[in-house]
Structure 1
Amino acid sequence: MSLLLRIFVLSWFCFTALAAKTTLPDLYEASVTELQAGLEAGHFTSVDLVKAYFARIEEVNLKGPQLRAVLELNPSALAQAAALDKERKKSGKRSELHGIPVLLKDNIATVASEGMNTTAGSFSLLGSVVPDDSGVVKRLRKAGAIILGKANLSEFAHFRGNNLPSGWSGRGGQCTNAYFPHSDPCGSSSGSGVASSIGLTAVALGSETDGSITCPSSNNNLAGIKPTVGLVSRAGVVPISEHQDTVGPMTRSVSDAAVVLSIIAGPDPNDNFTLAQPSPVPDFTKALNKNALKGKRIGVPRRVFLNDTITGNDPFVNQEFEKALDTIRSLGATVIDPADLPSADEIAVSNNETIVLDVDFKIQLNAWYTSLKSNPSGVRSLADLIAFDDANPALEEPPRFEDQSILIEAEATTGMNSTYFQALAFDKDLGATRGIDAALKMFNLDALVLPAPGFTTVPAAIAGYPIVTVPLGFYPENVTIALAGPETVYPAPGVPFGLSFLGTAFSEFSLVGFAFAYEQKTQTRLARKAFAEAIPKTQLHDVMS
């Protein structure tokens, strides 16, 4: 045996012996805590993590089931990982996210010099140069996180046309759920939800205006936090409305979501809404208490539920929701049922949210285009965007596309007039004063609870209030499959749905605790995996060897 061969054999035996003694985390479920422990122990590196996630994305994103969850990878990720590995050895970790890969929804800006685009899924922004990193990305970088890439989304956060399918963008095509072939991922943070659900990333960030973290977390078996408007910076995020937009984590556990929220929350001088938040920012990981529901009063706003044409008419979701209420009782809480919002019926028929969003979108999107250092498409305004889309149907129209009604309605607005301010004030009254806050006070409640899909999100959206969502159940094998879009179905066998805890402004700490207690008791996420073809096979040992 030659010397080189002997060295190779010895090295191989050393590697396999080490692997036998070290149980590497399964990336399908691996938590931030597990990954950080492995990095600290030297069982693997952040370079290994990035390579493994890149390989897992390669397996299922455009090949195999073609989930189309990821728009692009960060060409600088491996270099960032190597630098952070070196820093760890020299001076230790910066935070619990040091060396941990994070996938961003593609409306969250990153500097173009890093090698990625920020497009909201639109070809009108391809190659555009943003002036700076977004506020949340600055916080992630400071914490030592690695930006893995950009996730697909419903184009412009689903603010384009009423018939735009969830998960479709011009750049990314149709993102689909990993729990049933071609099922609806929900939107607009669709790619973030799908990618996190099967371990294509350690954690993902999404954004919500009304339902866009809550719904894809629900449909993809995840824990998701939609923070209070003003807890997390929206600076450098392609906007819909400063009065409703917020950025939050979408992860496989409440624990991971708490870690991420603790890092991305806080004041930012570039987003004046964040300057009014309570100080200091809580360490949300301290809310992770299995007994958090003991002695609490949790209300069920049935009028919201009954107004919901999705879950309010779904017998299986209703059945699982009743079981969830029994679980909450078993954890020591008193369930007040019903605990209705006085404004529930008015919210169901109000058009005020549309008035506010249309005006805000036109003003803020125009400001976004103006802020760009350059934009190869030449689009510099909402009017230009509408014309660009009409001129490029092969790029910007999904199958059986009808119109750009939302964009056209927004362009027709005339600014912040009396109608706008009346609608904004009425939204606050309906969602907060005579909505969530009224119910909490009237019934002496600590939080509200509802199934996650559908109308659940509206009161919190118009109030700017938080929602924490956890897995509730999965549709049965005999469910009737329905068409959700030109290329997607919902419901479908095995597709998940979630449970949402709602509260008043800046009540995230309590909501995280309630969701964690429920999650730990039920372990619903672990009851079912994605369909076989959608489960990536690459693990850490594959890239390490």
Structure 2
Amino acid sequence: MPLPDLLYATIDDLQSGLAAGTFTSLDLVKAYVARINEVNPVLHAVIETNPDALAIATSLDAERARGSLRGNLHGIPICIKDNIATLDKMNNTAGSFALLGAIPPSDSTIAAKLKAAGAIIIGKCNLSQWANYRSSNSTNGWTSRGGQTMGAYYPMQDPSGSSSGPGVVSSIGLAAAAVGTETSGSIISPASRNSLAGIKPSVGLTSRYLVVPISQTQDTIGPLTRTMKDAAYILSVIAGKDSHDNYTSAIPFESVPDYAAACNSQGLQGAKIGIPRNAITVSATNGPEITAFNASITTFEGLGATIVDNADFPDLAGYVNFTGAGYTTDPVVGADFVADVANYFNEMTTNPNGIKNIQQLINFTETYVPEDYPDRDIARWLSAASLNITMGDPNYYTALLQQYYYGSNATILGALEKYDLDALIIPSSMAPGYAAIAGYPIVTVPLGYYPASTNVTYNSRRTLVSLGPNFPFGLSFFGRRFSEATLVKYACAFEAATNYRQLQHPYIIPNIQLVDVM
């Protein structure tokens, strides 16, 4: 068999080569680690690699040779975000020195499931520090431990966040796939900006046990991959109930679906898809996204879907007024963080810095020079710490119920029910906030790229290009809670018909391929 190009290789491609004996998992680990070493000095997408990855690959190759296979991920190298704990020689720090050397009592549930399925966790991906819940003036993809992640589609590209590293790792084949986390936008945004498929699962579909938290009411874990089928493979492995996370008890099925089973070109036949037109805003710079989104309607109709335009959110004004204070002052997220981050620190069996609560975390960050304080502030922590609300207060539950209303009946669920729809579509740049506050799922696929004539815009620090030529963007699907199987089916059909990921290459691509290490 010919060797697959690792820029494009899917999990099926890799499994075919492994099954045929064309290459081994050991070869794959060597190639991916070499690719990381080749471009990481520029892109800073990986914080650290797994020193045991070669030994793990050798063991899994031996299992394969004995005829024992664990599933679709057997022997497949992946990279996970540096806030998903592993009990091995790697750290889990959310990009902060505050957690360097901290040892969890076990693997996180997500890491344990990946390992049990035969995946090789070859490294920890960089991110926006503390999953973008620290500063009001930092940048997507920056951590004190890992430096500044940059996207590969334009020099100094803002990779989006907070799963910045997973996005870049998948986009240029530094691993077969990556796993990230989302509280509001942290999978969907970097997947979109790196021309990837991404799944932000319903809150409760994937366990958060021993994942550095922001908010138990909004946090979720999901894949960022080069194809939707690969994302579906990973979701089937990491989804499911976990006694350590009681949000997973809401899962309405006993057996996790085979999310890849319906991944084919016919998936949109008979689907009724709505467009919440009142939630789609046109700006001075997003014209290419709007044009491409509107053009996609013809594609959907050609694939057998019925499009209901102007399937508006029924109480968008209420949502806008409710969320006007912004993510940084959200009392639910703030109260969650104060409690949840303390719980995480106190779970550690080894905690070198002795941090037990948010105030001690604040003190450490203000005084430990590599944390780059005060140049990068701690505004979100200060806001959370000053809240006169805790998770047990009546005011907390009042705010939480409001969130659930504005993220469901007022917006996503309201439109689905009013217009009798199977799903909604929206540009990915506009998707995250609605689904975040009620824990609804989002699935994104590539939709296009900004033209070469796009004016270059820099961030406030002038350290990243926030918009420029060839920047990717995506299309997102909304659905009811735990409707991931349906959304994946629709996304697979759209992806198969358009294949937008292949239309534009990154400007920086690793040269090393399998042939170089075999």
Alignment of 1:126-525 (within 5 A): 126-279=100-253, 280-306=255-281, 314-351=286-323, 354-393=330-369, 395-397=370-372, 401-413=375-387, 414-416=389-391, 417-453=393-429, 455-486=430-461, 487-525=463-501
Structure 1 residue 38, shift from structure 2 partner? 0.6
Q: Distance in 2 between matches of 1:325 and 1:344?
A: 23
1:230 counterpart SS class: coil
Q: Distance in 2 between matches of 1:369 and 1:404?
A: 18
1:91 counterpart SS class: coil
1:537 aligns with 2:511: yes
Structure 1 residue 72, shift from structure 2 partner? 0.1
Q: Distance in 2 between matches of 1:259 and 1:173?
A: 31
User: Which residue of structure 2 aligns with residue 14 of structure 1?
Assistant: none
1:137-178 Cα deviation digits (max 9, x unpaired) = 111111111111100000010001222211111111110000
- Paired residues in the alignment total 510
1:51 aligns with 2:30: yes
Structure 1 residue 397, shift from structure 2 partner? 2.0
Letter paired with 1:368: Y
Structure 1 residue 60, shift from structure 2 partner? 0.2
Structure 1 residue 183, shift from structure 2 partner? 0.8
Could you tell me which runs of 5 or more consecutive residues in structure 2 were left unpaired when the two chains were aligned. Answer: none
Larger-Rg structure: 1
Letter paired with 2:256: V
1:357-416 Cα deviation digits (max 9, x unpaired) = 0000000001111111122223222111111111124x1128x93521101011112412
Structure 1 residue 120, shift from structure 2 partner? 0.3
Structure 1 residue 434, shift from structure 2 partner? 2.4
1:147 counterpart SS class: strand
Structure 1 residue 55, shift from structure 2 partner? 0.3
Q: Distance in 1 between matches of 2:250 and 2:355?
A: 34
Structure 1 residue 346, shift from structure 2 partner? 1.9
Assess if the C-alpha contact under 8 Å between 2:276 and 2:424 holds in 1: yes
Q: Distance in 2 between matches of 1:94 and 1:149?
A: 21
Structure 1 residue 312, shift from structure 2 partner? 8.3
Q: Distance in 2 between matches of 1:46 and 1:289?
A: 27
User: Which residue of structure 1 aligns with residue 62 of structure 2?
Assistant: 86
Assess if the C-alpha contact under 8 Å between 2:79 and 2:175 holds in 1: yes
Q: Distance in 1 between matches of 2:169 and 2:285?
A: 30
Structure 1 residue 287, shift from structure 2 partner? 2.0
Letter paired with 1:530: P
Q: Distance in 2 between matches of 1:370 and 1:490?
A: 37
Q: Distance in 1 between matches of 2:107 and 2:137?
A: 32
Q: Distance in 1 between matches of 2:485 and 2:170?
A: 23
Q: 1:34 aligns with which of 10, 13, 18?
A: 13
Q: Distance in 1 between matches of 2:460 and 2:238?
A: 34
User: Which residue of structure 2 aligns with residue 16 of structure 1?
Assistant: none
1:5-59 Cα deviation digits (max 9, x unpaired) = xxxxxxxxxxxxxxxxx30010001000010111111110110000000100000
Letter paired with 2:381: L
Q: Distance in 1 between matches of 2:189 and 2:316?
A: 20
User: Which residue of structure 2 aligns with residue 6 of structure 1?
Assistant: none
Letter paired with 1:134: S
Q: 1:70 aligns with which of 25, 46, 59?
A: 46
Q: Distance in 2 between matches of 1:462 and 1:303?
A: 19
1:157-211 Cα deviation digits (max 9, x unpaired) = 0001222211111111110000001011000000000010000000100000000
Structure 1 residue 92, shift from structure 2 partner? 2.4
Letter paired with 1:293: L
1:500-529 Cα deviation digits (max 9, x unpaired) = 011110110110011111100001000011
1:252-297 Cα deviation digits (max 9, x unpaired) = 0001001111111111111111122022211001120211112211
Q: Distance in 2 between matches of 1:379 and 1:501?
A: 40
Answer with 160-169 or 208-217: which moved more.
160-169
Query: Percent of aligned pairs with the same residue?
Result: 47
1:419 counterpart SS class: helix
Assess if the C-alpha contact under 8 Å between 2:271 and 2:422 holds in 1: yes
Assess if the C-alpha contact under 8 Å between 1:166 and 1:485 holds in 2: no
Q: Which structure carries more helix by proportion?
A: 1
User: Which residue of structure 2 aligns with residue 7 of structure 1?
Assistant: none
Q: Distance in 1 between matches of 2:390 and 2:252?
A: 31
Q: Distance in 1 between matches of 2:473 and 2:431?
A: 13
1:315-345 Cα deviation digits (max 9, x unpaired) = 1111111111221111111111111111222
Structure 1 residue 227, shift from structure 2 partner? 0.4
1:206 counterpart SS class: strand
Structure 1 residue 433, shift from structure 2 partner? 2.2
Assess if the C-alpha contact under 8 Å between 2:264 and 2:496 holds in 1: no
2:167 counterpart SS class: helix
1:497 counterpart SS class: strand
TM-score by length of 1: 0.92
Letter paired with 1:317: E
Letter paired with 1:292: G
Q: Distance in 2 between matches of 1:401 and 1:213?
A: 27
Assess if the C-alpha contact under 8 Å between 1:167 and 1:175 holds in 2: yes
User: Which residue of structure 2 aligns with residue 115 of structure 1?
Assistant: 89
Answer with 515-524 or 319-328: which moved more.
319-328
1:94 counterpart SS class: coil
Q: Distance in 2 between matches of 1:345 and 1:438?
A: 13
